[in-house]
Amino acid sequence: MNRFFWKLPKDIDQEPAKSLAGALNIPQAGARFLVSRSYSTADEAKAYLFPSESIAQDPFTFENMEKAVSLINRAFREKKKILIHGDYDVDGISGTAILYLFFKGLAVEVLRFLPDRRKDGYGLSKRAVKWAIENSVGLLIAVDCGTSDGELVKEAHSHGIDVVICDHHALPTDKTVEGVVLNPIREGESYPFKHLCGTGVAFKLIQALEKSGLGGDRKAEDFLDLLALATVGDLAPLVDENRHYVQLGLGKINQMSRPGLRAIRDCARIQGREITARHLAFVVVPRLNAPGRVSNAKPSLEILCTDDEVEAQKLALILERENERRRELTDIVKLDVEDMIANMPDSGERAGYILASEEWDEGVLGIAAARIVETLGKPAILMSLMGNVAKGSGRSISGVNLKEQLDKCRKHLIRYGGHAQAVGLTIETARIPDFEKDLAVCLKEATGGMPSKPVLQIDADISIEECTLELIEFLRMCGPFGVGNRAPVWRIRGSRVDSGTGFVGNGHLKLFFHNSNGRSADAIGFNWNRPFGPSELYGKTVDLAVTIDKGSYMNQVYPEIRIIDIEHHTEGET
């Protein structure tokens, strides 16, 4: 019955949980959650619930920060043109926006460039470097790219262009980089927090420039909203410094001082709600990413930079249209991939899926691959065939570093890059069969012993009686939730499904149930597309894997139980 493999927590010692609940005056269920995440003492729990501002690192801890600041200050003194080169996703777009807005009015001329996915591919653009040389640019700052583009950086250097790189992507296999590189995972880097996104590195650069005395009307804290947007959108772990900045950034976002974000909110019809990290991930980020996937990312950059309300509204409508087109293209790829996999005689035995088609739009391959990973719990690489060359994107599962797997197969590839969970690649079409064969072997080794279903980590058991508004308020302190700080998943055991259970709205499962104490409750399973429905559930005793969120109806707030998965209840099972 269940879609996921439920990974249950080790038996939680109730005494530390009771002690924690009493010491911090928090719900017992909340205390069990903290203990399951290894926050077992009051001090550990307080550090998690109330992180100190001191968790933010000094920007000059970056080994090359002094060099970067020196080059930028020299560019200002010598009135050099500055070109900011970003990327076409929300991280590269946001990083470009914050540097452009910070430098605007301070430099003689500040220029912006976002690559075109189809013309330029990923990484530094040859077209941009050529343009910079021809137009006497004196300083190029790359955001969310550049680490693996040593040859292009050398070419820029040979024409007198200084290069500063604000990146977070994995290094080339030979570990060599060019330019003044600010990258927390660079070989030998002294910066202690390794999980900043590209915009996060650009933000640290702005902080360093301010500390050096360079600044104007806009301060680093003015960009916390865009930093939060990029951090969530790039799936950076919401721990330590990232979590701190996203907390601050969400506060700024909810003030809605940026016209572009207001316009996106209004188009997406989420006015009147508190914006959370989940809204960023599933509403705002897809709209900002859409133009770069189906056409050109320029409107996304413009909407983050504009101070004009009317222009912001026009740009938001463009993003809305592009996002609808992105959905359509993604659905086409996803349905094709599902058909291909369903027709594979050995699909269940494969450790991952490497598929290609001439019909797929390269801009949506990453999203479609992510959907396959979510559904099947296996890595997926999808490629768009374009004559003699194919371009692809891949997504992975927890525990399988896809970039490292590509490193092992690099002899087949023209170009590739990325990190553990997401990669991009270019390959000669003729080499795809050999690449597929070799990568399949690598994935088989990397996934050995892993469950065949996607894994769902259960944090703790909870009773119906414990699903309260008090718990909702406690969970607010635990956020923001996302990668690295996932929302708690609870198990409600021994639930008897009642009459009235059925589908509501657009295919959502509304489940009515009661426990052995006779306490009744209801839960919602959004977009329920499982092979079993209300008729198969009625009268059964089941276990529910759920999240507890704040629901509202007719201005009334209540704890909403949201179903992730259902399995048959087994007496005596823990």
What secondary structure does DSSP assign to 371-399, as a single string? Answer: HHHHHHSS-EEEEEEETTEEEEEEE--TT
pLDDT at 574 over 60: no
Give yes or no: residues 372 and 430 share one domain.
yes
pLDDT at 175 over 90: no
Give yes or no: residues 473 and 436 share one domain.
no
User: Is the separation of the CB atoms in 17 and 466 below 8 Å?
Assistant: no
Give yes or no: residues 558 and 422 share one domain.
no
Give yes or no: residues 398 and 329 share one domain.
no
Considering the domain boundaries, does residue 246 fall inside one? no
Query: What would the pLDDT profile of 210-239 be if each residue is shown by its tens digit?
Result: 999 998 889 999 999 999 999 999 999 999
Q: Please give the sequence-ordered ranges of beta strands (E in DSSP) within 32-176, or none if there are none.
A: 81-85, 109-113, 137-143, 162-166
pLDDT at 1 over 80: no
The tokens describing 124, both together, are: 């530094």
- Distances, alpha carbon 236 to alpha carbons 193, 499, 539, in Å: 12, 43, 43
Query: What would the pLDDT profile of 258-267 be if each residue is shown by its tens digit?
Result: 999 999 999 9
Considering the domain boundaries, does residue 47 fall inside one? no
* CATH number for position 540: 2.40.50.460
pLDDT at residue 170, as a whole number: 85
pLDDT at residue 13, as a whole number: 67
The tokens describing 281, both together, are: 């991930």
Give yes or no: residues 311 and 405 share one domain.
no
Give yes or no: residues 306 and 202 share one domain.
no
Considering the domain boundaries, does residue 244 fall inside one? no
392, 420, 446 — which closes off a domain?
Answer: 446
Considering the domain boundaries, does residue 39 fall inside one? no
Provide the mean pLDDT of the chain: 94
* CATH number for position 399: 3.10.310.30
Give yes or no: residues 478 and 527 share one domain.
yes
User: Is the separation of the CB atoms in 488 and 503 below 8 Å?
Assistant: no
User: Is the separation of the CB atoms in 417 and 375 below 8 Å?
Assistant: no
Give yes or no: residues 358 and 317 share one domain.
no
Considering the domain boundaries, does residue 94 fall inside one? yes
Give yes or no: residues 207 and 162 share one domain.
yes
219, 237, 266 — which closes off a domain?
Answer: 219
Higher per-residue confidence, 130 vs 2: 130
Range of the domain at 304: 256-342
Considering the domain boundaries, does residue 60 fall inside one? yes
Give yes or no: residues 359 and 329 share one domain.
no
Considering the domain boundaries, does residue 31 fall inside one? no
Cβ-based neighbours of 275, under 8 Å, separated by 6 or more:
250, 253, 254, 265, 284
pLDDT at 571 over 80: no
201, 219, 237 — which closes off a domain?
Answer: 219
Q: Are strands 137-143 and 162-166 parallel, antiparallel or unpaired?
A: parallel
Give yes or no: residues 174 and 266 share one domain.
no
pLDDT band of residue 12 (cuts 50, 70, 90) is low
pLDDT at residue 573, as a whole number: 52
pLDDT at 106 over 70: yes
Amino acid letter, 424: G
Give yes or no: residues 263 and 312 share one domain.
yes
Query: What would the pLDDT profile of 370-414 be if each residue is shown by its tens digit?
Result: 999 988 999 999 999 999 999 999 999 988 999 999 999 999 999
Q: Please give the sequence-ordered ranges of beta strands (E in DSSP) within 387-499, or none if there are none.
A: 389-395, 413-418, 422-428, 455-457, 460-461, 490-497
What average pLDDT does range 474-501 have in this prediction?
96
| Overall domain count for the chain | 4
Task: Mark out the alpha helices in 78-197 (DSSP H runs).
Answer: 90-103, 117-120, 126-134, 150-158
pLDDT at residue 572, as a whole number: 60
